Amino acid sequence: MTVRAFDRLDLRHDFPGLLDGNGGDWHYLDSAATAQKPRAVIDAIARAYGVEYATVHRGVYERSANMTLAYEAARRKVANFIGAASDSEIVYVRGATEGINLVATCWAGEQLEAGDRILLSMLEHHSNIVPWQMVAEKVGAEIDVVPLTADGKIDLDAMAAIITPGHKMVALAHVSNVLGSVLDVRRAADIAHSVGAKLLIDGCQAVPRLAVDVQALNCDFYAFSAHKLYGPTGIGVLWARKQLLDAMPPYQGGGSMIDKVTFEKTTYAPAPTRFEAGTPHIVGVVGLSAAIDYVQAIGLDAIHAHECALVGKARTALEKLNSVRVFGPEDSAGILSFEVEGVHPHDVGTILDETGVAIRAGHHCAQPLMRHLGVEATARASFGVYSDESDVDALVKGIERVRKIFG
């Protein structure tokens, strides 16, 4: 699928956030941080906060019953979206960060002992580093790091050489939020399982652009956030194998996650309810459901092909500029990080903003990767379903202006 063929869908009109304050075009290239929202999602959220609003799992009146049905129908939709065996394997969380923390606390915190090892990679987001450091410090475990290949992918050959029976947990990103490099999750799972380790996958950058089937990938945990999938903030998903969820203690205590409560003893509801204490983000779940409908109507294969074409065009153009260094593999999925020689990424971002182009500049919550790349920060352009060739042209033109200003 070519960029031009995808443009015929004219998806930009679905996203009111792509207009600037004066009604003109805005070149939004920060979708890896958070995606703009289509009208279908915005409208679903507005209805859910309006004429459809009620609590779930508590009311006996009709609107509450209807909202409960919609809430649980969304859980089934999520399960189908990522190929889960059952909707009982889907836990609603605030985002991928909370999902990873839940696993670190309720699985690793219970299963790991002093001397056990955790395996991460050099390109992980802080959300897939810090929770493991916290649990390692608590139980006395150690952390090892898988290096990267020359083009910025997790080196699975090195992983196979590093891993030992002492490794109990492996946690890796499906798609790097800095380099866009895509992990061969199935091979990573085979390596992890060969020594009896569990594999958690951070899928934040994968689910908006890749078809995900957790059973085919053969991982043990998979976490993602809705706001990168064109849905609302404050809601995400943790998928885990049912037998793992059933063996894990609750993450938080409170309403909804209980079976019976007395002052002498409390028993807990089965998974996934056991992990969903308190009144949930009801409207967030409705928005997530609408977002899944939106991307499925377009097709994830089409989205991935579209974004790859745009990344390829941008990479080709930037590599022709002598003072620009591009990071990551050529088959990057929707993300392109770069630096302009002698110019701090924040200055790059500021000048691009003056030309109506929004990018991300900084360490991208991946400071260990920045040190590995030999930089303090990078500029990052990331694409979405609404991106088109005009965004790439505006980016390149803006960088040429940066080079002119800084000589």
Catalytic residues: 365
Q: What is the CA radius of gyration of the chain?
A: 22
The DSSP secondary structure of 195-214, one letter per residue, reads: TT-EEEEE-TTTTTTS---H
Beta bridge partners of residue 302, listed in sequence order: none
What does the CA dihedral 325, 329, 331, 334 come to, rounded to 10 degrees? -60
With H, G, I as helix, E, B as strand and everything else as coil, classify residue 155: coil
Contacts of 231 (CB under 8 A, 6+ apart): 37, 41, 284, 287, 288, 290, 291, 292
Assess contact for 338 and 345: CB atoms under 8 A.
no
Beta carbons of 36 and 18 less than 8 angstroms apart: yes
How far is residue 83's CA from residue 355's CA, in Å, rounded to a whole number?
42
Among 133, 208, 118, 215, which residue's Cα sits nearest to residue 172?
Answer: 118
Contact 42, 286 (CB under 8 A): no
Tell the burial category of 259 from Cβ atoms under 10 Å away from its Cβ (0-12, 13-18, 19+).
exposed
- The neighbour count for residue 232, using CB atoms within 10 Å, is 24
Tokens 């969820």, residue?
A: 245
What one-character-per-residue DSSP string does 234-276 give?
A: T-EEEEE-HHHHHHSPPSS-SSSSEEEE-SS-EEEPPTTGGG-
* First-residue to last-residue Cα distance in the chain: 39
Rounded CA gap, 335 and 333, in Å?
A: 6
